[in-house]
Structure 1
Amino acid sequence: MTSIAASAFSHPAMAQGAPDAAPEIVVTAATGTSIRGVAPVGAPVIGLNQDDIQKRPAATTAELLREIPSVTGTGANDQNFSAANNANANITAGNGINLRGLGTESTLTLLNGRRLPPAGTQAQFFDPSVFPTGAIGRLEVMADGGSAIYGSDAVGGVVNVLLPRRFTGLDVYVKQGFNDAVHETSAGGMFGKKWNSGNVMVAYEHGYRSALAASDRSSRYTDDLTPFGGTDQRLLFANPGNILIGGRTYALPAGQNGTGLTPAQIGAAGTANRESAYLNSDAIPGQKRDSVIVSLRQDIAPGITLWTEDYFAYRSVIRRTGAVTSALSVPTTNPFFVAPAGATLSNCGASSGVAAGTKCETVNYSFSSDYGSRVQNAYQASWQVAGGFDADLGKDWKLTAYGSYGQDNESRTLYALNTAALSAALRDTNPLTAFNPFGAGSNTNPGTLANIKGFSTIGTQYKLTDFAAKLDGSVVHLPGGDLKLAVGGEYQQHQLLSYTLASTGTANVGIAQLLPSTTRRNIASAYAEAFVPLVGADNAMPLLRELTVSAAVRHDRYSDFGSTTNPKFALNYKPMADLTLRGSYGTSFRAPTLSDVDPSTLTISFNQLTNNPSGTVNTLWVRGGNDRLGPEKATIWSMGFDYKPAYIEGLSLSLTYFNVVYRNRIATPGNDTLALSSASREALLGALVTRNPSADLVNFYQNLPQYTGVKVDPATVGAFLDGRKVNVGQVRTEGLEIIASYRIPVGPGQLRISGSANYVINFKQALAPNAPLVDLANTINNPLHWRGRGSVSYGLGGFEGSIYVNYSGGYTNNSIASPVDVPSYTTFDLNLRQSIKGAGAFGMREMILTANVQNLFDRQPPVVLNGALAFDPQVASILGRYASIGLRAKW
C-alpha cells in the first residue's frame, strides 16, 4: 500500500511544528474501506489532522472542509438561502458538504465511520460544524463512490470525522474574530485521561457570531440592480403602498397618515413606491453554538474492549428578513378608503365577507412600519449515543459491533398574518379599529395589529437507530502479503416527523393549527470486502514493485422501495518505488429521503394553464412527495497516480481523473406552469403530461384528503400535469483533482509550497424525461471549471507563517436574458502561529498564539445579477476581510 505522501497526522517530522500543509493523501485511512490497517485501494483519501486544523483560519469544521477543492460551494450554507440546490430547506443556517457538485444529499458524513441523523427540512445534509473542532483527531475525505462500503448517499464521496483514541491531558482554547460589522467568539476545551485498560475524553465548545446586517454590505447585498446594469428588483409592496387597479399602480403619498386622503393626492397611473426586500434584514444570521463529545473505552478482558461515543450539539439562529407584504383587498366600506380619480373598481370577491355588489381595490402593502422585520428564530438540536465492543479473536481477526440512536430536531418560527383577522379589519367600518393601509408608517390601532399578527412554525424531528457488526482479518498469506477479508451487516430504522404549527389560517391568532406528517423506513444490509496483495516486497520484480486489488459488494434492502446491490473494484500498481498508478470502478446510490416520499406534502389543484396552441386548459396539477420513488443510481470510475520522486526529496504529486454517470435523479420537471404552452415543451415531459385524463384519474386525486378545494366535473379537465418528485433526471460529469506539495530546507527553517485544484471538464444534466443532456459546468448554480487553493509556509522553531491563495475561476451567469461572463475571484489568507513549549504556568506543556486574516486584501465579490442579489453567495462570501486571534494552552 503506497501513497503520494504521509499525512500530517502520521508523519513524525510534521508533528514537530513543520510548516502548514495542504490536504494530503493518507497512508493508512479509516475511510473508504472496512478492513483495518489499509487505505482504500484505487481512490485517494485526503486528510487533515488536529495540527492542520489549528493552523487554518477557518472557525468551523464545515469551513475547513470547504477548503478542499473537490468540495463545491453549491448547496446549503449559512449565506445562501435561495431555492438553488435546495438551499432554502436549510432552516437553521447550517453548512452542508457537497463533493463533486452532486449535491449535499449525495455526500455521506460519518462520525468514526457511523451514520448520523441528517439535517434540513428535507433531511438532505449533515453539518459537521456540530462537532467541537478541538475534539477532532483528523478529518478524512474520499471523493469517490462509497456505497459498496457504506450504502446510501456516498455518491459524491464520504467525509469521516475521527475522534482521537488515546488523548490525555487538558487542551483549552479561545478565539476571537472580528471585522467592521461582525464579531465572533469560540472557546472550548478537551480533557483526556488514559489508564492501563482504557481512556476517557470529554470535549466542549461554545461559539457565538453576531449577525451581518445587509445594510453593512449594501454594495452587493441589494435588490436595486440598476447601478450594475440590471433592473430595480425592489418590491412594489411598500409603505406607503401602491393602489393596483387594472394592472396599473398608483403610488400613495409619503408624509401622511391615511386619514382624509383625497384622489388628487394619489400618484398618477404608473407611479409606484418601492421597498427593498432587504430592509432591516441580515445578510448572514447570528448564531450561538454549543457542542459536547464524550468518548470512553474500557478493556473488560484480554482482547475485549467496550466503548461509547456520544455527542450533543445545540445551535440557535436569529435572522432578520424583510417585512411581510400582502395584496390587500380593501372594500369601499373601509373608513379610510380612497381611490384614484376616474378608476373603475371591481366587485369584491365572494370570500371578502362584505355585502354583494360592494366594490374593492387592491393595495400592495408592506407591514414594515407595523411590525418591522420578520425575525426568524430557529434552533437545531442534534445528538447521538453510540456504544459497542471490539473483540480480538486471534490470528489477526477482530469482531466489532455497535448500536447507536440519534436525533436531529429543528424548528423555525416567524411572525405571519392571520388572514381571517386581517380581512375582518379591512372591512371594519369603525375608524378606531379598522386597518388603515393608505398612510405612510403605521396608522392602525395597536390592538387591531395585535389581533392580526400570528405566527408560523415549521419543524422536523429525524430519528435514526443503527445496529452494525463486522468481522475482519487475514485469510491467507500470499506472496505479496496477507489477503484480508471483511464481512458485516447493518440494520437501520429511520423516521422523519415533519410539522407546521401556525395561527395564520385559524379563526383568530389565539388558535394554532398543527399539521404533522410521519414517514418511516427500515433497511437491512450485508456486505463483504477483500484486499488482495498480489505482488509485494517479497515477490517484487522490475516494473512490478507492487500490485494490489480489492473488491467490495453491499446489498441493501429497503422496506419501501426494494433492494439495491452495489459492487466496487479497485487496483493499485507500482511500477517503481516512488510511483503508484491506481483506478477504481463501482456503482453507488442515493435512496430518496423520507421527505421525498412523504405523500402528505401533496398539493392538488385545478389551474387554468396556458394551452398549446392558444387559450387555456383546465389542468389537474399535482405537486409534492411521491411514495413510488426509487433510488438514484450512479456508475463511477476513476484513475490516477501518486508520485513522490526519490531524486527530489520533499516533492509529491497526485492526479485523479473521475467520471460519474448519475441516473434516476429525483427532480420535479412537472412544476412548470408553461409546460402545456408549446408542443416542444410538452414533449420534454413525456408521460408527466396526460391530455384528457380519465375520470378515474381525476377522481382519484380529488378524493384524496390532501385536496381541500371544490370538486370539479372530470369532463371539464383537459390535462393532468404530474409535478411530483420523480426519478427522471440524469447527470454526467468528469474532471480532474490535483494535489502537489514541495518541502525544502531554507536556512535554519523549512519552506513548504503546496496546492490543490479541481477541474470539472463537464457537468451535463437533464431534468426532464425527454430532455437532452446540457453541459452546465461553469454556469451559475453549478460546479465551476476551476477551483484551487495554494499556500506558501515557512517554519522556524516554534514560529510558522503561511500565506494562502484561494481561486475560483470565472464562469457564465446564464440566469439572465443576456448571459454575461463573471470574472474569476481570488482572495488571500494569512496565518501566523507561535508555539511556546514548556510555558510553565501550572505545569503547562505548550502555549500557542495565533493570528489569522481571511480575505487579506478585502476583495469584494464579483458583480453577479443573481435574482434579487448583486453577487453569488455560492462562490464568494459577503463577509469581507475578517481577522481573528487565538490562544491555546496544553497541559
Structure 2
Amino acid sequence: MTRSYCKTRQFRMTAVAFATFCLAAGIPEAALAQETPAAAAPEKVQQIVVTGTSIRGVGAVGSPSLSMNREAISASGAKDSSEIARLLPQVINLGADESRLGGAQDAAANTTRTSGINLRGIGNEATLLLVNGRRVASSGVIKSLADPNQIPAAAIQRMEVVLDGASAIYGSDAVAGVVNIITRSNVDAIETMLRYGRADGMNQKIFSQTLGKTWDAGSVFVAYEHNDRGSLAANARPFFSNDLRPYGGTDQRSTQAVPGNVLIGRNIYAIPAGQNGIGLTPAQLVQGSGNRYDAGTVGDFLPNQKRDTLYANAYHKVNDRLEVFYEGLYSQRDYRQRTAPLGANLNVPATSPYYVRPAGAPAGTGETVAYRFLFDDQDLNIGGRENNSQNAIGLTYDFDNGWEINSAYSYGKNDAWVHRNGLINTGNVGRAIAAGTINPFSALAGANPGYADFAAHRDQTATNKDSTLMFKVDGPIARLNAGNARIAVGSELRHVSFDQGLWQNVTTPTTAARHSELRNSRSVKSLYSELYVPLVGGPTAMPWVKRLELSVAGRYERYSDFGSTTNPKVGLTWAVNDKVSFNTTYGTSFRAPSLVDNLGSYTNLSLTNIFVQDISDPTAPGGVRHGIYVNGGNPALKPEKARTWSFGADIKPVRGMTISASYYKIDYTDRIDTIQANSALANEALYANYIIRNPSAALVNSYFGSPNLQSPPENPANIGVIIDGRRSNLGSLRQQGIDLDSRYVMKTGSGDWMVGLNVAKILKLERSSAPGLPYTDVLDTFGNPVSLRMRASAGWKLGAMSANVFANYIGSYTNTALVPNTEVPSMTTFDATLTYAVDKGVGYGFGGTVLALSAQNLFDRAPPVVLNGTSSWDSQNASAIGRFVSISLTKSW
C-alpha cells in the first residue's frame, strides 16, 4: 500500500494563509523587501506571552515556574525542542521516546517515534504543550502525543514551564504542568546556522535560516530548519546484545534462530548447522541450550530521521485600537529503521514431509520449531512519515478604559503513516508448513523459495485534526489602593477528530491486503474566568507585607461524548520585601481520554494489538516466560482527575543570586496508563487483575484467532502467561516532591561568571492499581521515576569568548525486574559548550559570526547495568548515544 503526502500542497496552504494576512493587514511591500536600519528600530508593540494566566500584565500568581531563554538554550548545546525540555530535571524520560518501542507508560504505542515531554514522570499526556499559548494538533497513529519538535529550534525565544496543575486556565491535559514554547518576534535580522555533530556510529546535520523584519506598527518573522540525523546501528554498542552473561545475567538470545531448534515442553533440541533439512535423523537433534540468535544486535537501534520545519508569525497594528496577527507552522518528519528478520515458533505437524522427532522425546502428532526467516526477507524495515501543520489568525481590539478583546481561530492537522515489512501471513505460513513449502529444519539460504506466498506487511495511517475558536475579554474592574483588580472572561469552541486506517495482510486468507477504518471525534465547549486582586502593594505596603496578590480562576468544559467538568484554581503571592516572597496554589485538574485512548466508543471496536513474545518473569527459569501481551485502546475509559497543591519561596539573599524552592503534592485518580510487559510480573501483586498465568488452550486460541494478532500463532502449550496491557484507568497516584532552582551571577574584571543548580526531588510516589486497592510505594523502582535528579551549571563570559559546563545527576534506584532485586548505581554525565562570537563591527565578512563547540556526555559515560528481560540497560534513565560532539557556525547578516 502506498500513501501520498501532499507536502507541497500543505506548504502552499501555509504560504497562502500568510500572504492573506499580509494583504488584510495592509503591510506595505517595502516593509517586506527592505531592511530598517538598526538605529531606527521601532518601539515593540506586540504583547508579551505569559504562561499560566489569562490576564494581561500580571504573572501566574502563586504558581511555581521555570524558564530557559535563548541564551541559556544556546549555551546548553541542545539540538531540538524535546532535548531543550529534557535539560530540566523535572522532565523525566518515561513513556514516548524514539529510543524504544516498549517500556513504561505505553511506550510501545509510539510507533511513529515521536519524542514527547513528560513532567514529573506522570505521563506524556498529562503534560500540556503550547506554542505561544495555543495548543497544537496531536501526533501519532496508535497514541496521542504532543510533539515539540514541530517547532524549529531556531524559532524559539524561550521555553516556559509551569510546574502546577493548570486546567482552570487551559482545560484538559494540564495535570502535571504546562510547557509553553515562546517563539521569536520583532527580529530585524537574517540569520544562517550550520551544525554538524557526531557520536560513535552516528551523525547529525542541521541547517537553519531565519528572516525577521519590523516596521512602525508590526513585525514578521520566518524560520526554516532542516535536521538530518543518521541511524545508530544495533551492533554499535555492546550493551544492545541480548546475551546478558557479560553483565552478570543469563543468555537471553532468542532460540528463534538459523539453524533453529525443536521445542518440546521445556526441552530444546538444536538443529545442526549446515543442515538442509532433508534426511535429518532423530539422533542429530541434540538436547541442550539450543542455537541462539542475537536480535538485539541486528538492524538499527535509533532510526534515521529527516525533519523539515517551517514557522512564521506576523502582526500589524492597523490603528491605535486594532491589531491583527498570524501564526503558522509546517513540519515533515521521515524516519526509517532497519529491523531484525522475523522469528517465529512454527507449528510443524507430523504430516509435514520434513517432520522429524528428536530421539528420546515422547511421541506426538506435531512439534514446535523455533525458526528465523534470516534468508527470506531482504527489505526489513519500519518506516513512516509525519506531517504537522497549523495556522492561526486573530485580532485584538483595545478600548480606552484598559479593556481588550482577543479573538482567534486556529486549525491544526497531523497526518501520520507507519509501514512495517518483514511480517508473515499467519494463515498461509501454517498451510505452507503442512504442505512442505517451508522447510523450517534447513539452515541454508534458498531453502524457502515460496516465502513470497506468505510474506506480509502492515501499514497504518492516522489523521488528527484540531480546530479552536476562542474569544476573551479582559481588563480592570476596580481601582484599589494596591492597584487595579483585573478580570478575564472567555470561551472556546474546540473540535477534534481522529481517523485511523489499517492496510494489512497478516491475518487475511490470502496475501491480498485488507483495509479497515476507525474514526472518533469530539466537540468541547468551554467557559472560563480568572480574577486578579492586588490586596496589598504600592501605597498600602506595610512591614513584612510589601505585596500581597490573589488569583482565582475557574473553567467549565462540556464534552460531547462523556459529560462536563469544572476545575477551580486559587493562587496567592506574598512578598515580604524585595528579597523574600512566598507563593501557594491549590486547584483541580482534568484529562479527558484522548480519541486514541478510547477509540471505538462509537464503532464498538477498540484499537488493540496482540503480540506473542518473551516476557520478563522473575519467577521463571532464566528470568523469561513466553506469553501474550495485549495493548491498545479501551472504549470504557473514564476521564482522569487530579488535585494539586504547591507552596514555595523566592529568595534573593545577595545581589546577583536568586533561589526558588517549592513543595508540591499531586493526588491523581482514575489514571489512564498501561502495564509494561517487562515489569508486570515483577509487580504481580500490583497488577494481578491484568495477568493470567497458565491460560487454557481455548483462551490462547481465541487470541490467535483475532484479526489484531501481530505475531505468528503457535502451539498454545508454549504460552505461559497473558498480560492485558490495554489502556485502563489504573487506579490512583500520589506524589509529593520539592523543586529547587538557584542561580548566582557575578561580574568581575576577569569576566562574567554564573553558577546554577536545578534539583527535582520526589519525596513520595505511591500507586493503587485499581479503586479500593491499597497504595504501593513505587518510587525508585524500575519503570518509575527516580527520586533525585539534578543539573548543575557553571558559565564564564569575557568579551567574545564564553564557556559553559553542566553536570547531570540521576540518583540510584532498585531494579525490580530481577529477583532478588538489585541496586542500580547513580549516574553523572557532563556537558560542555565553548563559544566565540565575532562582533558585528568586524570587517571582511566575519562580523556577526558565532562559532560554537559542544559536547554532550563529555566523558562518554556508559549506562549502568540494569538487567530486565532481554536487555542489560535502562533506556528510561540513560542514553545509548554516548559522547556526542558538535560544531556550529551561525552568521547574522
TM range, normalised to the smaller chain?
0.7 to 0.9
- Change in 2 beyond 3 A, CA 1:134/1:208: same
The answer as to whether partners of 2:49 and 2:133 remain within 8 angstroms in 1 is no
Equivalence for 1:52 = 72
Q: Does 1:407 pair with 2:413?
A: yes
Amino acid at match of 1:550: S
Deviation at 1:624, TM superposition (A): 5.8
> Separation in 1 of the partners of 2:892 and 2:122?
40
Deviation at 1:795, TM superposition (A): 0.5
- Change in 2 beyond 3 A, CA 1:837/1:148: same
Decide which of 784, 789, 792 is 1:790's aligned counterpart: 792
Q: Which moved more, 1:816-825 or 1:387-396?
A: 387-396
> Separation in 2 of the partners of 1:841 and 1:281?
50
The answer as to whether partners of 1:245 and 1:345 remain within 8 angstroms in 2 is no
Q: Which moved more, 1:474-483 or 1:834-843?
A: 834-843
Count of residues in Structure 1 that have an aligned counterpart in Structure 2? 798
Equivalence for 2:172 = 152
Equivalence for 1:644 = 652
Equivalence for 1:658 = 664
> Separation in 2 of the partners of 1:723 and 1:212?
29
Deviation digits for residues 552-600 of structure 1 (CA, Å, limit 9, x no counterpart) = 0000101111010000001010112211111000000111111222231
Decide which of 92, 104, 127 is 1:72's aligned counterpart: 92
Equivalence for 1:256 = 275
The answer as to whether partners of 1:188 and 1:205 remain within 8 angstroms in 2 is yes
Equivalence for 2:564 = 563
> Separation in 2 of the partners of 1:403 and 1:150?
16
Equivalence for 2:739 = 737
Equivalence for 1:436 = 439
Deviation at 1:332, TM superposition (A): 4.2
> Separation in 1 of the partners of 2:882 and 2:543?
55
Equivalence for 2:540 = 539
> Separation in 2 of the partners of 1:655 and 1:528?
29
Decide which of 296, 315, 320 is 1:302's aligned counterpart: 320
Taking structure 1 as the reference length, the TM-score comes to 0.85
Written as runs of structure 1 = structure 2, the 5 A alignment for 1:80-479 is: 80-218=100-238, 220-264=239-283, 266-341=284-359, 343-347=361-365, 360-371=366-377, 374-415=380-421, 416-429=423-436, 434-446=437-449, 448-479=450-481
> Separation in 2 of the partners of 1:151 and 1:273?
55
Deviation digits for residues 764-801 of structure 1 (CA, Å, limit 9, x no counterpart) = 11112332111111111111111000111110011100
Equivalence for 2:876 = 874
Deviation digits for residues 169-227 of structure 1 (CA, Å, limit 9, x no counterpart) = 21110110002211101111111122223322211100011111121111x21211122
> Separation in 1 of the partners of 2:403 and 2:632?
49
Deviation digits for residues 31-90 of structure 1 (CA, Å, limit 9, x no counterpart) = 000011221010132112222222221111110110111111211112132131111111
Equivalence for 1:589 = 590
Equivalence for 2:6 = none
Q: Which moved more, 1:204-213 or 1:499-508?
A: 499-508
> Separation in 2 of the partners of 1:673 and 1:781?
7
Deviation at 1:479, TM superposition (A): 1.0
Deviation digits for residues 400-446 of structure 1 (CA, Å, limit 9, x no counterpart) = 111111112222111211223323332335xxxx2221121423354
Equivalence for 1:516 = 517
Q: Which moved more, 1:105-114 or 1:725-734?
A: 725-734
Deviation at 1:726, TM superposition (A): 4.5
The secondary structure found in structure 2 opposite 1:278 is helix
Moved over 6 A (4+): 602-605, 668-675, 704-707, 721-724, 841-844
Deviation at 1:656, TM superposition (A): 0.5
Deviation digits for residues 656-690 of structure 1 (CA, Å, limit 9, x no counterpart) = 00000001212568999999xx9x999x759x99x
Equivalence for 1:632 = 640
- Change in 2 beyond 3 A, CA 1:623/1:163: closer
Amino acid at match of 1:527: Y
The answer as to whether partners of 1:685 and 1:770 remain within 8 angstroms in 2 is no
Amino acid at match of 2:430: S
> Separation in 1 of the partners of 2:372 and 2:324?
61
> Separation in 2 of the partners of 1:582 and 1:738?
14
Deviation digits for residues 816-847 of structure 1 (CA, Å, limit 9, x no counterpart) = 12111110000111100111012656977511
Amino acid at match of 1:324: L
> Separation in 2 of the partners of 1:668 and 1:176?
38
Decide which of 818, 821, 828 is 2:820's aligned counterpart: 818
The answer as to whether partners of 1:116 and 1:126 remain within 8 angstroms in 2 is yes
- Change in 2 beyond 3 A, CA 1:724/1:227: closer
Decide which of 597, 600, 606 is 1:601's aligned counterpart: 606
> Separation in 1 of the partners of 2:805 and 2:850?
19
> Separation in 2 of the partners of 1:624 and 1:107?
21
- Change in 2 beyond 3 A, CA 1:537/1:822: same
The answer as to whether partners of 2:142 and 2:632 remain within 8 angstroms in 1 is no
RMSD: 2.9
Equivalence for 1:775 = 777
Deviation at 1:104, TM superposition (A): 0.5
The secondary structure found in structure 1 opposite 2:105 is helix
The secondary structure found in structure 2 opposite 1:126 is coil
Amino acid at match of 1:878: A
Amino acid at match of 1:144: D
> Separation in 2 of the partners of 1:186 and 1:744?
34
The answer as to whether partners of 1:662 and 1:732 remain within 8 angstroms in 2 is yes
Deviation at 1:522, TM superposition (A): 0.6
Amino acid at match of 1:136: I
The answer as to whether partners of 1:29 and 1:37 remain within 8 angstroms in 2 is no
Amino acid at match of 1:242: N
Equivalence for 1:19 = none
- Change in 2 beyond 3 A, CA 1:672/1:169: closer
> Separation in 2 of the partners of 1:131 and 1:232?
43
Equivalence for 2:697 = none
- Change in 2 beyond 3 A, CA 1:183/1:839: farther
Decide which of 805, 808, 816 is 1:806's aligned counterpart: 808
Gaps of 5+ in 2: 1-46, 611-628, 693-705, 710-722
- Change in 2 beyond 3 A, CA 1:731/1:278: same
Decide which of 494, 507, 510 is 2:509's aligned counterpart: 507
Equivalence for 2:749 = 747
> Separation in 1 of the partners of 2:547 and 2:679?
59
The secondary structure found in structure 1 opposite 2:375 is helix
Amino acid at match of 2:338: R
The answer as to whether partners of 1:257 and 1:441 remain within 8 angstroms in 2 is yes
- Change in 2 beyond 3 A, CA 1:395/1:123: farther
The secondary structure found in structure 2 opposite 1:272 is coil
